[in-house]
Every structure is written in C-alpha cells, then in structure tokens.
Amino acid sequence: MASGPQLADERAAPLFEARDLVKQFRSRRTVVQAVNGVSLKIPRGRTVGLVGESGSGKSTVARLALRLLDPTSGEVSFDGVDLLRASRAEMRALRRRMQIVFQDPLGSLNPRMRVLNAVGEPLSVHGIAKGKDKADRVVELLERVGLSSGDLYKFSHQFSGGQAQRIGIARALATDPDLIVCDEAVSALDVSVQAQVLNLLKELQAELGLSYLFIAHDLNVVRYMADEVCVMYLGEIVERGDGDELFADPRHPYTKMLVSAVPEFAPELADGRGRRSIPRGEPASPSDPPPGCRFHPRCPQAMRRCREEAPAMHRVPTGRAVACHLFDAPAAPADAEREASER
C-alpha cells in the first residue's frame, strides 16, 4: 500500500476524476434524474467503493465513468485526458485502459462463443494478437484467474457462476487495463465464491497495480475491498471517506442507517433491546425527487431547513466529507430532536 510522498502524488494526480456529473434520462412525460452532481477521484493502484440502495445511481455512474453513457453535464477525465472531448480514435485507445466486470457473469458472456473467443475478443478488436499468439495469451489470462488451458474450448454454460465471473475478469484483463469498474461483480455469487473472487481481485491489484471503481450494495464486501468509500442516495453522494473510519463512525444519517442494519457493524448503533435502525419508507422516485435534502422524508433528524435547502458537502474533523445540514448549523441537532419529537 502506498504511503508518504507517493500517496500524496497519487492524490494530486488521480488516474480518474469525475466532476459534478449529472445524468438525466428524458421521455415525453418525465425527466429521470439518475445522477445529480457526483464528483469522485480514483488514485492509481487504489480502490474507491460506491455503495447505496438499489436505484441510487451507482451503475449509471459506472457507465458515465467509462463513457458508455454521455453525461447531461459535468466533466470526466482519465489520466489527464478529457473523455468528453476525446475523438473516436482517442477513445478507442483509451478504452484499452478502462474495462468493466458486470454483475451477471453468465449473462455477460455470449453463450455461442467458446472461452477462446470470449476472452480473446478484446485482443482481436484492438489488434493486440491473433492466431496462436491470441490463444497463448488467453491461456495465460485463464491461468492468472485460476482456470486452465483445458477450459479454452468450452462454452459459458459449462461453468459455474464463480468460474464464469473469473472468465469475465480474464476478459477485462486482456488489454492490460489501468482501471477496472466492478459493477456488483460478486452480488450474484454464493458467499464462499464471493470471497474467492474478492481475494483474486485483490491479488491482481497488488500484482498489476490496478485501480478499481468497486460498486456494491453489500457493506461487508465494500469494507473489504475499498480504500475510500462513497455513499450514494438518490443520485447524490452524501458521505465519503476512508472505508474503515466511515464504517466505524458513520456521520450522515443515511450512512448510519445503512451501517446499523448490518449486525457486525457498529453494535453501539442498536438500541437497548438490540434492534437496528433502518430508514423509514422507500426512496423517492428519481423522476420526482423531494426538494431540499433528498433524504429528508426518511430522516429521523430532518429539520425545516432540510425540506427547503439542499445541503452542501462539508468537511468534518475526521477528514471525511458529509452532505448534511447537521454539520453547518451548531443548533441543528437540538432543532432536529425537537422537530422529530413533534412528528
């Protein structure tokens, strides 16, 4: 793990950076605000985790990061290159350095392709290898992820979910990328298989210096993988910081509720009878988000201000950033308790 001046350099010049990303999907009748003002940085050789409930916009951020979708507004840069202004030829070259591992390992593989072609397709598309060189490279990739040359001519249906995900990882490694987006890459796997795949990803990162954008809804998985964690709610990042510190001492009310719902996390967040606090109700629709703080309809500490004004991102003493009015108004906690008691 990097430290000292090297880590400072990584933070000064991140491999990937997104600034104020907004993505709206428009139809004749509605505008869905999938992502609203998201900013994040991924240092070289590090992992940034993105966590939140289903529908929070995590996968949309993943696709914006790789420019599989174009944002409505905002900026995206990779190794200093503005992806939104890059030409088609520049993007083709950059795509070799950015890859993705999808959630459904079997669904992401063409059932009519043998492993040789499924893993070797990026080699052909980018003109990296063909013929025997391509086959040799695919065997090398399979062995790196724990499979063998005996799997070269099999079809995807002949593999378990965990094996299929290893094939997906091998395919992502084919072009020697610098950044891999893992979009719920282990959520469809059994717990024991999850652990094997997570350990594989960590080993590959140590060996190859990979950077990960790791997206998941399982807090245990994110805590294990991520150096920094960003918590998303309804298209916005509400808290970010060092993974261990964030899970040990969550600050945003939404983060507290996520963490308290996991028994082994922060047992002191349970009440005296061992019950865990969970958010009230369901998230609002992205096509009709509430005014002010988007979490306020479910927040037990909501104040009048929360219903009217969107909070800014505030730095807190631990070095984390929290988007919550509780951190910019000294009297807010008392006000919150009073208003909560009146509800």
Kindly report the backbone phi and psi dihedral angles of residue 323, in degrees, each rounded to the nearest multiple of 5, phi listed first.
-95, 90
Q: What is the DSSP letter of 312?
A: P
Whole-structure pTM value:
0.87
Per-residue pLDDT reduced to its tens digit, 73-113: 999 999 999 999 998 889 988 999 999 998 888 888 888 99
> C-alpha distances in angstroms, 313 versus 33, 269, 305?
19, 24, 15
Let me know: does 172 contact 118? Beta carbons within 8 Å.
no
Tokens, residue 5: 């001046």
Q: Residue-wise pLDDT tens for the chain (343 aa)?
A: 444 444 444 445 899 999 999 999 998 888 999 999 999 999 999 999 999 988 899 999 999 999 999 999 999 999 999 999 998 889 988 999 999 998 888 888 888 999 999 999 999 988 898 899 999 999 999 999 999 999 999 999 999 999 999 999 999 999 999 999 999 988 888 888 999 999 999 999 999 999 999 999 889 899 999 999 999 999 999 999 998 889 888 999 999 988 887 766 655 555 554 555 555 678 888 888 899 999 999 998 889 999 999 999 988 877 789 999 998 755 444 444 444 444 4
Sign of the dihedral defined by the CA atoms of residues 153, 156, 157, 163, in that order: positive
The backbone region for 162, taken as left when phi is positive above 0, alpha when psi lies in -120 to 50, beta otherwise, is alpha
Amino acid type, 280:
R
Instruction: Report the relative pairing of strands 81-82 and 313-315 from DSSP bridges.
Output: unpaired
Please write the tens of the pLDDT for every residue from 13-27. Answer: 899 999 999 999 998
